[in-house]
Structure 1
C-alpha cells in the first residue's frame, strides 16, 4: 500500500505540468471523482469538504520565487474541486498572497473566501475588514469570523451590519485549542452565527463530546482546523506502510486517512489543511473523495495513531 510519499512521487510529473499550464478543469491531474459536498445549514448552499488553510504556509513575500510553489498549490486546489480558502489578517502576508494567487490564476470567481477579524473595538474591526478586502482584491467576502473570540460581541455586531450591506455573506467564530471549546459553546448559545471553526483530529477529539453535536443540532456549519496537529500526527506514522484496510475508505495515504476520519463525522462541514506543496495539496484533495470510514474503521484509525 503506498505511503503519502509514494503517492506524491507517482504524481509528480502531472503536478509539474499543472503548475506550468493554464488553469483548466480538464487538467490531467484533476480529481477522478468529484469532491464530497456538504450543506451550509443557514442557507442550503453546498461547499466541498476539503478547503485550504493559509496559516504560516502562505506567509511569504510576493516575489516570483516565493509564489511559484503556492501558485501550484492554488491550481491543484481549484482544479481538484476545492473552493473554500481560509485566511486571516494575523497570518502575516497570507491574505495578500491569497489575493495575488487568485489574480494570477484567474480564479477569483471560483473561490469561497473566508477570513477573520482579530481586533478590539468597532472602528479597528472595520478598518481590519476593509484592509482584508484590499489584500484579497475583492469587494465582498463569503465568510468573516471573529478570530479566537477576540472582542466577540462587538465584532459580531459589526459583521451583522456588513452582512446587511451585502459585503459579507456568512459570519462565524473561531478557536484552535480544546480548552476554548466551552467558551465557543457559551457564545453559540447566545449569538446566532453561520459557522464555527475549531480544532478536531484523531489526536484531539474533545469536540465530539459537546461542540460538534451542538452545531449539528442547531444548524451551524463547522470548519475544522489543525487536522494533522501541525504535522505531529503524520510524524507518528512516518516511514510506516499504510495498512491494507485503509482502502476500505478509499485512502491511499496517511494524510487522506486522517482527513477522512474527520469527515466521517457528519457534523463536520469542511476541513482546512494548510500546505505549501502542490503535491501535498493534490493528496489532501483525495481525502474528500470516495468512501468515508464507518465507526469500526474510525476506531482502527485511532489505534493506528495511538
Structure 2
C-alpha cells in the first residue's frame, strides 16, 4: 500500500443494528434492496417470502461456512455485481457458535487429560482464536464494503452491566442499559449504529447511537426505520470509482505480513531469553542471591518486546556476586 491523491471512491455503508427481540431489526435489514441474506438464526423465516429485496440467501451458521458462501458468491461475477447489500442476521448466533466450538475443544482436551470437564473454561488463548476468526469474517465483509457493497449486521441485544462497589466492600453488577451480543468494540467498525426497541404500542423505534453519514444525530429516535431513511446518503456513498479486488488488501494478507514480523522478532527474542537463562545460571554460581536474580529476570521470562529482554540481559551481565 502507498499514499495516493484523494479521489471519490465507491464505498459501501456499514450498519450495525441491535436490540431486544421483536423490535424490528430483521424487518429493517430486509428493506435494503438487492441483498445477499445470510439468515444465520432463521430470523427472516416469516419475512422473506415475496420479499423482492432478497436476491440470494444462505442459512450458514459457522463463520467458516459463511466465508465460503461469500467466496462462492464473489466467484459468480455476474450475480455478485447485482448484489448491493450483504446482510448477516444475526452475528450473535455466529459469535456464540464460535464460543461453543472453542468450548468443545477445551472439553475434549479435559477428557483426554482426565480432568473434570465442569471445571474447564475458555482461556485467553481460546478467546484470542475466537476473536481472530470473527475478525476474519468481519474483515471479509469490510473488503466488500470497499468495493461498494453495503453491509448490514444484525445483533441480539443483551444487558449492559457495570460493577458497583457496595458499602460493605463487595462488588455487584448493575444493569445500566442495553448493548449488542457480539465481539467487544464492534461498534467502532461501523458507520451507522442503531439500537432498536419497542414503543408502548409495540411499534418499532430505533435510537441512533452513531451516524457517520450525518443523516441523523446521536440520540435521534426514528419510528419504523427503513432503508429509505438513509437512501440519499447511501447512494451518495455508492458513487465514485469502483475499486477492483486487486486494489483491496485482504485481511488475510495483512495478518500474514504481521505474522512474519512476529516470527522474525520472535526468533530473536527466543535467542535473548536463552542468553538470559544462561547468564542467570552463571550468576548463581558466582554467588548472586536467587531472589535478586528473580527480581531482575521476572518469574515467567515473558517479555513484551526485544528491547525489554535486552535491558534485562544487560542488567544481569552487570550484576556482581
Fold conserved between structures, TM > 0.5: no
**Which has the larger strand fraction?**
2
Calculate the TM-score normalised by the size of structure 2.
0.30
Q: Max radius of gyration: which structure?
A: 2
